[in-house]
Amino acid sequence: MEQIISLTDVTIRQGEKTILKQVNLSVAEAEFVYLIGKTGSGKSSLLKTLYGELSISEGEGAIAGYNLKTIKQKEVPFLRRKLGIVFQDFQLLLDRTVIQNLYFVLKATGWKEKAEIHKRAMSVLQLVGIEQKADQMPHTLSGGEQQRVSIARALLNDPKIILADEPTGNLDVETSEEIMQLLVALSKEENTAVLMATHDLQMVQKFPARTLRVENEEIHS
């Protein structure tokens, strides 16, 4: 089985401060993995390293075929096309409709044909069960619907892995469960790995999967 993420003895620093050290981590295709730990323990920093926002100080790391140690700034957008990134606060463009949010990403990642762009946007909205809201503005949607849109956006370029940073953090319990069911289904049906940072232990118990704990600057399995 293909390894989507492979980190060996990785140290992550921000300025002089060590955030994580001696990180060894591998995630295989279609695998669902939780990253749990207190706020400020380094979960988000690890995800930022994986999508090229923070660099590796020591050790070796690769994700989706890119070497995180040697990646150049101009290659980062290409890396991100192979990843789906889902944030706690949705990060939708509020001045355009749901489907225009998706058009924007597709155009920015090199899609040219209008008909193809529309077709792909509608197909990911169908995948997350929200195609009927395509022409609505984000502020008219519930939090759960907005998160579905952001998951649809993450799926646009058929990513190898979704990096989800507290995706249920702003949602009530019922909506959180719906989003979890969606992410679990995507990992199974679309063969997409999911690495999800969370401190929602209720969801981890309800949807059990491999769990890594972040504490004292280290990751423990």
Give yes or no for a contact between 25 and 121, defined as CB atoms under 8 angstroms apart.
no
Query: What is the mean pLDDT of the segment spanning 15-36?
Result: 94
Predicted TM-score of the model (pTM): 0.92
Q: What is the pLDDT of residue 40?
A: 85
Q: Per residue in 67-97, pLDDT tens?
A: 999 999 999 888 988 899 998 888 899 999 9
Phi, psi of 219 (to 5 degrees): -115, 125
- Quote the domain boundaries for residue 127: 3-220
DSSP string, 17-68: EEEEEEEEEEEETT-EEEEE--TTSSHHHHHHHHTTSS-EEEEEEEETTEET
Query: What is the mean pLDDT of the segment spanning 23-51?
Result: 93
CATH, residue 159: 3.40.50.300
Q: What is the pLDDT of residue 114?
A: 95
Give yes or no for a contact between 126 and 48, defined as CB atoms under 8 angstroms apart.
no
Number of domains in the chain: 1
Write the burial class of residue 52 (CB in 10 Å: 0-12 exposed, 13-18 middle, 19+ buried).
buried
Confidence category of residue 109, pLDDT binned at 50, 70, 90 = confident
Q: Per residue in 125-165, pLDDT tens?
A: 999 999 999 999 999 999 999 999 999 999 999 998 999 99
Mean per-residue pLDDT over the chain, rounded: 92
Whole-number Å distance between alpha carbons of 166 and 148? 14
